[in-house]
Amino acid sequence: MSLRSSPVTSTPSPASAQHECVISLGTNIEPEHHFAKALEILSSECELLARSEAVRTAPVGFQQQPDFLNAALVVRTTLELGDFKAYLKEVEHRLGRVRGPIKSGPRTMDLDIVAWDGEVVDDGYFHHDYVRGPVDEVLAVLKRPN
């Protein structure tokens, strides 16, 4: 798998605090379309540092659904953690995410913060290969320890 780095898309003022965030992406409703749209939105609204290739994975939990495309991104933002979490939920909503009764059910997009400023904040990294693999890929390209 290869990783692509992107140029800076916007430069915040020097007084703005910069936070680095590793995001896990997952989609299994029109996955190629929603993956491309999420990448387009996030790379235009954040500073995209790196992305993994998308990998197809079998569903975890609820099995009667299509396979997922999973990937990871590293972005830089001036938002604080809570505001960035809310921003990602808003991006999911813009991509048509509807939260149904089955937590592990199908979705147009799932965006989770895995690491914030170098610290793992989502235990999914330790328990799920579909999270850990793409995250380790982007960290390796950025020459960051996992």
The residue behind tokens 């099995």 is: 63
Mean pLDDT over each residue of the chain, to the nearest integer: 85
14 inside domain: no
Residues tagged active-site = 97, 107, 110, 112
Q: Is the pLDDT of residue 15 over 60?
A: no
Q: What is the percent of the chain with per-residue pLDDT over 70, rounded to a whole number?
A: 88
Report the distance separating Cα 100 and Cα 75, nearest Å: 28
Q: Which of 11-15, 53-57, 73-77, 106-110 has maximum average pLDDT?
A: 73-77
What is the residue range of 120's domain?
A: 23-141
Q: Is the pLDDT of residue 107 over 90?
A: no
What pLDDT is recorded for position 33?
95
Q: Is 61 exposed, middle or buried (0-12, 13-18, 19+ CB in 10 A)?
A: exposed
Total domains present in the chain? 1
Are the beta carbons of 131 and 122 closer than 8 angstroms?
yes
Residue 4: pLDDT band (50, 70, 90) is very low
Angle at 110 between CA 10 and CA 116, to 5 degrees: 55
CATH number at residue 126: 3.30.70.560
Of the ranges 16-20, 76-80, 92-96, 117-121, which one carries the lowest mean pLDDT score? Answer: 16-20
pLDDT digits (tens, 9 = 90+) for 28-74: 999 999 999 999 999 999 999 999 999 998 888 777 888 889 999 99
1 inside domain: no
Report the distance separating Cα 139 and Cα 142, nearest Å: 5
